[in-house]
Amino acid sequence: MGERPEISVVVPAFNEEANVVPMVERLVAALDGVVEGFEIVFIDDGSKDRTWAEVAALAERDRRVRGVRFARNFGHQAAVTAGIDAARGTAVVLIDADLQDPPEVIPELVAKWREGFEVVYAQREAREGESWFKKTTAAFFYRTLRAITNVDIPLDTGDFRLMGPRAVEAFRAFGERNRFIRGLVSWVGFEQAGVRYRRHARNAGETKYPLKKMIRFAIDGITSFSFLPLRLATWLGFAVSALAFVYIVVVIGLKLAGINWPGYTSLMASILFLGGVQLIMIGILGEYLGRVFDEVKQRPLYLVGESTDGTVPVVGRARGRERGDDEAGR
Ligand code: UDP
Ligand code: MG
């Protein structure tokens, strides 16, 4: 296994066959001689194309390349988690496989880390090759998230970042299933700094985050960091009660003044309005309840089919099975 590399680069890849080789070439060019040893850990998130074949071939030739193959598609955030779990380096860099995040920025992240920052995130100052829709919704989402959570998630950051050893250790201790990694990494605290960069267009292939997944991801982000949607019910309840009270006073006043106010339309309107509000609130409760259910089941976060060096266990994160748990637990 040799000595510990300074940097582990974690690359989640889902159907990225055309990006694996250029990714490794650019990472090697950017890091060779710049850092004291590095490894590249690909997590093949159940790809249906030749991604794994490409990774395995590279790993055969270059010992710095490692690969972990999931038993099926577990999703981007699970892949990143597995990468962090498998990493052997002192610091871990998270980067997308599609070369949207240029590997050439990594030495800048490393330089900041060496200055003493524990987490160095890369902040997009421009995004090329992404639709107007994606950019606007992303901008809106990050601003909303920042406004309603008490976690200081920096604006316009993705998962492209460097985590120092203390942040990595903290991250590995998280047991939760619904993971919003960029939020969790901010949550750990320590000294954090940003480096600005230009986000490029995808190198090859197409986005693995269609609108549906983006919405899921956004809901995950909000629910795992904020109770505000739940409180909304209380506020709405107070607001509607106040309105109802005013309405009652008005109606009684009109009655006393001898004015008769027929009520079909307003009755219909308020029934439908309140019905809608109540259903939305039940839906929000459901979102949280579903997540609680997920956490309670304690299923493993991901399953590993194979790894290039054969050292990565099938079940990496079964909670309650960790060493010493049996004695400590009872
Ligand atoms: N990805 C993954 N599993 C998934 C979806 C995406 O590992 O289920 C990886 C993907 O290969 C890429 C990264 O996550 O390396 C970001 O995905 P993508 O570039 O498609 O998202 P976008 O940049 O369009 O938001
Ligand atoms: Mg991308």
Residue of 14, 44, 142 to test ligand 1 pocket, by largest number of atoms within 8 Å of CB: 14
Nearest CA to ligand 1 atom 16: 96
Stretch 56-84: mean pLDDT:
90
Tell how far the Cα of 212 is from the centroid of ligand 1, in angstroms.
Answer: 14
Instruction: Report the pLDDT value the prediction gives residue 317, as an integer from 0 to 100.
Output: 66
Instruction: Mark 277-316 as b/e (b = at least 16 C-beta within 10 Å).
Output: beeebeebeeeeeebeeeeeeeebbbbbeebbeeebeeeb
Span 212-243, pLDDT tens digits: 787 888 888 788 778 888 888 888 888 888 88
Span 2-12, pLDDT tens digits: 578 889 999 99
Residue of 207, 209, 213 to test ligand 1 pocket, by largest number of atoms within 8 Å of CB: 209
Residue 76 · residue 181 · CB < 8 Å: no
Instruction: Report the pLDDT value the prediction gives residue 323, as an integer from 0 to 100.
Output: 41
Tell how far the Cα of 179 is from the centroid of ligand 2, in angstroms.
Answer: 18
Tell how far the Cα of 277 is from the centroid of ligand 1, in angstroms.
Answer: 35
Residue 74 · residue 83 · CB < 8 Å: no
Q: Where are the beta strands (DSSP E) in 157-225?
A: 157-163, 192-199
Neighbours of ion ligand 2 (CB under 5 A): 96, 98, 100
SS3 226: coil
